[in-house]
Structure 1
Amino acid sequence: MNASERLRGLLRGVRVRSGLDLALSCVPWALVVAAMVLRFHGIAAAVVALLVALALIAVASAYRARRLDALWLIRRLNTLRADMDDSADLLFASEQGLTGLQSLQRSRLQDRLAHGAPVELRPAWSTKRSLLSLLIAALVFAVIALWPAPKPAAQALDALSPAPTVAALPGQPRLTEQALRVDPPSYTRLPPRSEPTLEARVPQGSSLRWTLRFQPQPANVALVFHDGLRLPLRRQGEDWIAQRSLAKSALYRIEAAGAAPAQSRRLYRLDVTPDRAPQLRVLEPDRGLTLMAQGQRAWPLAFEATDDYGLAPSAQLRITLAQGSGENITFREQRISLRGAGAATQKRYAQRLDLAALGFAVGDDLIVQLSVDDNRSPQPQTALSPSLILRWPADLGSEATGLEGMVKTTLPAYFRSQRQIIIDAEALIPQRRKLGADEFLERSDAIGVDQRLLRLRYGQFLGEEAEGEPRLPTNDEAPAADAEHKDEHGDKPAATQDAPHDDHDHAPNAAPAKFGEEGAVLEEYGHTHDHAEAATLLDPGTRKLLKAALDEMWQSELHLRQGEPKLALPYAYKALGFIKQVQQASRIYLARVGPELPPIDESRRLSGDRKGLARREDALIAANAADPLLGSLWLQLQAAPGSSDAAAIDYGALERWLGEHDARVADPLAFAAALDSLRNQPDCASCRAQLRSLLWPLLTRPPASVTPRDAGDALDRRYFEALQGEGGR
């Protein structure tokens, strides 16, 4: 074997020794990790942890050994042996590629290795480091072994507490320790808890686990609930165990074979907290009906939802587009899923609807409604927001927010001519110096006629009688206005002048009603006049404003007819202000139709037929109580304790009534507890009083009856006796 082969064998030994050195240093720590996992997670997890740690150590050792290659050995030889002349790399070179001088130097190096003193190239065992690592690992292992073991979670929750002492005879089983574990439903995210007593307030659907311990041990134990359910307990060593899921509040007692009566009669109360439905609030918009604004392109929406345990991740926004009118209305519906932002119990939902993308147009209604679910399992609860409406009317000034009753447009087109009267009067004032006195008076009087016609139009809606032929009060019909003006001055024949209003017949030459004209419809069908208070078209506030407008129109008309338009302008402006206030109430409500009573049967009048009529001799029959069981119990509770009436109480019927009508009782458990106390102690006066106090709000209120008249004192009685004596003569 030449020197090169011996060096390669030496390199293999160095690799093995280096890997073992690292493994011996790390194996104690792998045992420490396994012991820690064993302490907290069990033997199976500890075995897995130990195998994983050993595998990591093996990989690290192999990686460290692979780093010790030929280059490492060359550098090692050049460092430890000076006779290598920094030429140890020639020992591993191929002979074919060497020059003559390199071959001579290689022969010299091989001869020096063969006859020279051997050099230990293997790294020395790191004894100090290995011992230090082993010592520290042993200390950590001892700490883990001596540290007190934590109780498992189930055992901590089922830890027993001392039970209240109950008087019992020797040999009778007595409850000494107790525990009640509460596991809320998983969707509530509430942690399990342990109650030291056997009473608790728990979420709906919680799982309850009873752990009881008796001394001495009874033959059997059961939990008896007030609704008749009997839950037997099973014995596990020294403990008695039972488990039940609770959906509603309940009372129960513990019945142990051979236990003292005081132990078996004691009641325990479990109150259930129901899961509330989500609460939904609209943040934007601030009203249920929103009118389309000028140039509006989007509709922002914002909602806020809260729940006691948690909300679903997303909500559904239902969008309904109503298009058309009358019988040609079509609906198009779509749904959008919204992701809420915020905590699990309080989320905010926001959406900005693109009106153009939805196809929203003039005359359409856009209705949205948000639905939110909570995380209750298995069936979630849903909350719906109010419906929000965005309306794009054809005429923004003729819409309203009323949703019931019949509606009618308040202001027709000619109601808006008060401004034209003001414009005409203001245009006439600067021409006073240019026009003659007669012509100026004539033009001012013509404007006054327009004011009069407008006043009469308003008067129709307040119950006043119309005068003359209805015309639009504008200067566009000046010839008609002049003709009426001439009629008032006598140019019109007397037979055709305004006559006193006779009944409800109008002149045959009255203008025909125009289709769709509000005034014509009112004259033909409504015809409410003569008394302003009899008009039912307007609400009191609007009627008051119109009355004020009419008063100002009277004054404006007075000055215009007298040729004083400047004095008429203040009154005309006030009338315009009142009209604008009326225009803000864009709809009025018509009175509803009264009840239609059946017609009177005239054939039975004065016939003497008394068939179907009650006779005076018939005796009154006592009315049956709506709930006779409660009435009879109330009367029985009035009896003294120990009497026969008290012993006749049907407790079973009362318990059945309570199970069927628990919604009528404010606190059903208190009622059941009072009933149970009275059944166990029939002679207990306080138990009777407590049950009567709980029963009083449930009794049916007696119907009203006629109070008998007071008989009076002795003087009154003598007076009535004297009257009776007078009647017998």
Structure 2
Amino acid sequence: MSALFAQWIAPARRRAFADTLALALPPLSALAIIGWRCGGPMIAIWLTTVPLAVTFIIARRRAARFDRRWLIRSLDTRYPELEDSSALLFADDAPLSPLESLQRRRIAARLDRGAPQELIPAWSTRPILILGLLAVALIAAALLWPRPGEGPPALAPSREGLPARPGIPRLVAQNLRIIPPAYTGLPVRDSAALDARAPQGARLEWTLRFDPQAAAPRLLMLGGQPLALRQDGANWIASRTLDAAFLYRVDPAAGRGPTPPLHRVDAIADAPPQVKALTDSLTLVTPGQRNWSPAFAAIDDYGVAANARLRVTLAIGEGENVTFSEREIPVGGSGPPRNRRFAPRLDFASFGFAAGGDMVVQLIVRDNRSPSPQAVRGPSLILRWPSPKQPESSGLTGMVNTTLPAYFRSQRQIIIDIEKLLKQKRGLAPDRYLARSAAIGGDQQILRGRYSQFLGGENEGAPALPTADGEAHGDDDGHDHGGPPVAAPSVFGEKEDVLAEFGHPHDESPASSLDPETRAILKQAVDEMWQSERELRTGHPDAALPYAYRALRFIKAVQQATRIFLSRVGPELPPIDASRRMTGKRDGLASRLLPVAPVASADGPAADAWRALGDGPQAIRGPIALDALDRWVRANAARLPDPLALSGAIDAVRRDPACATCRVKLRALLWTAMERPAGRLARRRPADAVGMRYLDAIGGAP
């Protein structure tokens, strides 16, 4: 009877589910349109996701109400011929008596004449219609309601501060609308002030109103072409694209009234994206590793493109048989646009990466600037797969393996490695912990050997190579050992030959250049290194740390000491010409004073204007020739800290030469704009009382 139950119950459940969705569709649509209108597509999605999930839950619960009890009650009410016995049709569990079985067969035959569609509940027509009308009203209001920055702007009172003159138009209301480029994702905004900061490439729209009405107002660009305004009813409108920062003023009366103040609009340049590596710069392949996922983070002020390029460079081979290959693959990022994360999965088999090779990856990202997006290359990450071949015991490979750690490890680095190992102790296996401690001990041994060389004969020598000779040879062992060794011929210019032939060497070892006190300190440092090495070799880095710190202190003391003795050589003066003594002849003598050459400077106009604006004898109280200074500012705008402020100060002095405040401001800006002079020698301090007595005693008092 389960099939009969599903046949009669399914249409009613589908109707209840659809009816619930029909009731929720108008409010959800209105909510989505309002969210999209106010905040964009992402806000609309966020506003409708949760209500839509709640709607599905409610719809399933409403459909679940149409169960067996409801079906039995509805069948008995709808069909009187079932004689209130429809419950017998769905009694699968309990055994039936012969009379109940007979009644069941009778009503089953009668039920076949009915249809399940007769039990479907009616639609909620009236609520759906009311909700639909409300949703249409809300959607129309949302579409007709202007967004921020749309429609005619609300003008703010003017802040020019100019006095009113009869018949002269003046600015009474103003608004500056800033429309950023679409790629920035910034909203349109209105500014009540005429000074603003906006992204480079934004669209600027001025809406101005004058009283009395102006005839041909203009926007005068300082150092550029004026911008004409067009009339729109009682307002005047102008627009331009913000390519670079500029200064301007609103001129409503073509120069007939007082000079309006300057306004400034700064352009915010789009910064290039920044790429940061989240993986170590050098990684070694672990046993069993078959892929690698280098991680990068890319940030940008307006967003990074979702797709980037990964440059993969492979170096396969050893020695002289190294082959290089380079390719770029597309990678996708995750996360918000302003802070994306790139972690591509690189399969070794697809790249042909094998043992003995290096894989170098570099991420190339672009921002969303349009047009001409900015591309930036991130840092390079290296994956190294060590070769299974063991290094040879001699030759260049053995020398490099022994020498490199000595150059790349210092006592401070050893201390850092020990502290890092102690922090990672809990997460390391005992054998791994002991191996890393022993490796740091090997670095300590190499560093101890370097410093032991300065103690003369106490450095550890390399063991002799095994040979077939089992016994040592002597002078009377019966073999011919040849004659006495012949000295190699001297080579002109060799420092050893020069010292042996003309000098008297005293040094027997590098330690001879150390004074006894410094030598003793160095000996203590080597002893502490030995103790540190012993503890590291035995797997006790915590016990080695105090010895490593003491060794570092001794090394610093040695570095600050006077360690090397140099022979003192007197000055080699030219011989005295005795024939000219006591003759009084001054032929051929010249002054030893060097001529003083003027320092060439590119700040000539700025320096002249600075002196002219001051209080000294070169100051000018009247009008100053500012054309040369203006040209100097334009020519040196790239290196000046704020060329627009300097241009505005020049314009203020040009408009009102008698303005003392304007002159002081221009002089202060010129001082910050000029190049700093080179440092001079400090004057000798005047002699104090003791110095004066000394000068009197030698007869050199001034």
Bucket of the pairwise TM-score, normalised by the shorter protein = 0.5 to 0.7
Q: Which moved more, 1:707-716 or 1:245-254?
A: 707-716
Aligned to 1:703: 678
Identity of aligned residues (%): 40
Q: Which structure is richer in relative contact order (CA contacts within 8 A, separation 6 or more)?
A: 1
Aligned to 1:269: 264
Aligned to 2:108: none
Picking from 209, 215, 221, the partner of 2:217 is: 221
C-alpha distance 617-463 of structure 1, shift in aligned 2 (>3 A): closer
Picking from 661, 669, 674, the partner of 1:694 is: 669
Q: Alignment partner of 1:265: what SS?
A: coil
2:122 corresponds to 1:159? no
Alpha carbons 2:171, 2:252 under 8 Å: kept? no
C-alpha distance 250-574 of structure 1, shift in aligned 2 (>3 A): closer
C-alpha distance 459-718 of structure 1, shift in aligned 2 (>3 A): closer
Picking from 346, 353, 368, the partner of 2:339 is: 346
Aligned to 1:616: 592
Picking from 190, 199, 202, the partner of 2:195 is: 199
Picking from 240, 244, 250, the partner of 2:240 is: 244
Picking from 614, 618, 622, the partner of 1:638 is: 614
Equivalent runs, 1:113-262 vs 2, <5 Å: 156-164=151-159, 166-257=162-253, 261-262=257-258
Deviation at 1:206, TM superposition (A): 0.5
Aligned to 2:360: 367
Name the TM-score, length of structure 1 as normaliser: 0.51
Alpha carbons 2:455, 2:523 under 8 Å: kept? no
Q: In structure 2, how many angstroms separate the alpha carbons of the residues matched to 1:529 and 1:715?
A: 49
Aligned to 2:494: none
Q: In structure 2, how many angstroms separate the alpha carbons of the residues matched to 1:178 and 1:295?
A: 71
Equivalent runs, 1:50-69 vs 2, <5 Å: none
Alpha carbons 2:623, 2:657 under 8 Å: kept? no
Alpha carbons 1:655, 1:672 under 8 Å: kept? yes
Q: In structure 2, how many angstroms separate the alpha carbons of the residues matched to 1:572 and 1:184?
A: 64
Query: What letter corresponds to residue 222 of structure 1 in structure 2?
Result: R
Aligned to 2:453: 462
Deviation at 1:269, TM superposition (A): 1.7
Q: In structure 1, how many angstroms separate the alpha carbons of the residues matched to 2:356 and 2:467?
A: 34
Picking from 489, 492, 509, the partner of 1:530 is: 509
Aligned to 1:658: 633
Query: What letter corresponds to residue 453 of structure 2 in structure 1?
Result: L
C-alpha distance 173-572 of structure 1, shift in aligned 2 (>3 A): closer
Query: What letter corresponds to residue 531 of structure 1 in structure 2?
Result: P
Alpha carbons 1:640, 1:646 under 8 Å: kept? no
2:299 corresponds to 1:306? yes
Alpha carbons 2:184, 2:303 under 8 Å: kept? yes
Aligned to 1:504: none
Q: In structure 1, how many angstroms separate the alpha carbons of the residues matched to 2:277 and 2:370?
A: 26
Picking from 380, 397, 407, the partner of 2:373 is: 380
Alpha carbons 1:311, 1:344 under 8 Å: kept? yes
Aligned to 1:38: none
Deviation at 1:551, TM superposition (A): 7.2
2:662 corresponds to 1:680? no
Alpha carbons 1:365, 1:390 under 8 Å: kept? yes
Task: Please identify the structure whose Cα radius of gyration is greater.
Answer: 1
C-alpha distance 291-615 of structure 1, shift in aligned 2 (>3 A): farther
C-alpha distance 459-148 of structure 1, shift in aligned 2 (>3 A): closer
C-alpha distance 171-407 of structure 1, shift in aligned 2 (>3 A): farther
2:283 corresponds to 1:282? no
Q: In structure 1, how many angstroms separate the alpha carbons of the residues matched to 2:538 and 2:144?
A: 85
Deviation at 1:466, TM superposition (A): 7.2
Picking from 290, 294, 298, the partner of 2:287 is: 294
Q: In structure 2, how many angstroms separate the alpha carbons of the residues matched to 1:381 and 1:260?
A: 47
Query: What letter corresponds to residue 386 of structure 1 in structure 2?
Result: P
Alpha carbons 2:613, 2:619 under 8 Å: kept? no
C-alpha distance 197-392 of structure 1, shift in aligned 2 (>3 A): same
Name the TM-score, length of structure 2 as normaliser: 0.53
- Gap runs ≥5 in structure 2: 1-125, 393-398, 406-444, 488-506, 545-573, 578-588
Deviation at 1:360, TM superposition (A): 1.6
Query: What letter corresponds to residue 392 of structure 1 in structure 2?
Result: W
User: Matched residue pairs, number?
Assistant: 451
Structure 1 vs Structure 2 CA RMSD:
5.3
Q: In structure 1, how many angstroms separate the alpha carbons of the residues matched to 2:462 and 2:209?
A: 101
- Gap runs ≥5 in structure 1: 1-131, 400-405, 413-453, 497-506, 511-527, 553-570, 582-604
2:644 corresponds to 1:669? yes
Aligned to 2:351: 358
Query: What letter corresponds to residue 637 of structure 2 in structure 1?
Result: D
Alpha carbons 2:275, 2:379 under 8 Å: kept? no
Q: In structure 2, how many angstroms separate the alpha carbons of the residues matched to 1:197 and 1:648?
A: 32
Q: Alignment partner of 1:677: what SS?
A: helix
Alpha carbons 1:458, 1:546 under 8 Å: kept? no
Query: What letter corresponds to residue 188 of structure 2 in structure 1?
Result: P
Alpha carbons 1:320, 1:333 under 8 Å: kept? yes
Q: In structure 1, how many angstroms separate the alpha carbons of the residues matched to 2:201 and 2:233?
A: 29
Alpha carbons 1:157, 1:181 under 8 Å: kept? no
Deviation at 1:712, TM superposition (A): 5.5
Alpha carbons 1:548, 1:575 under 8 Å: kept? no
Q: In structure 2, how many angstroms separate the alpha carbons of the residues matched to 1:715 and 1:573?
A: 60
Query: What letter corresponds to residue 208 of structure 2 in structure 1?
Result: L
Alpha carbons 1:157, 1:193 under 8 Å: kept? no
Alpha carbons 1:460, 1:466 under 8 Å: kept? no
Q: In structure 2, how many angstroms separate the alpha carbons of the residues matched to 1:160 and 1:305?
A: 41
Q: Alignment partner of 1:224: what SS?
A: strand
Q: Alignment partner of 1:341: what SS?
A: coil
Q: Alignment partner of 1:351: what SS?
A: coil
Deviation at 1:317, TM superposition (A): 0.6
Query: What letter corresponds to residue 274 of structure 1 in structure 2?
Result: A
Picking from 298, 310, 315, the partner of 2:308 is: 315
Deviation at 1:705, TM superposition (A): 3.4
Q: Deviations over 1:322-367 (max 9, x none)?
A: 1245555432111111111222322221212112321222321110
Deviation at 1:681, TM superposition (A): 2.6
C-alpha distance 614-219 of structure 1, shift in aligned 2 (>3 A): farther
Alpha carbons 1:463, 1:529 under 8 Å: kept? no
C-alpha distance 661-479 of structure 1, shift in aligned 2 (>3 A): same
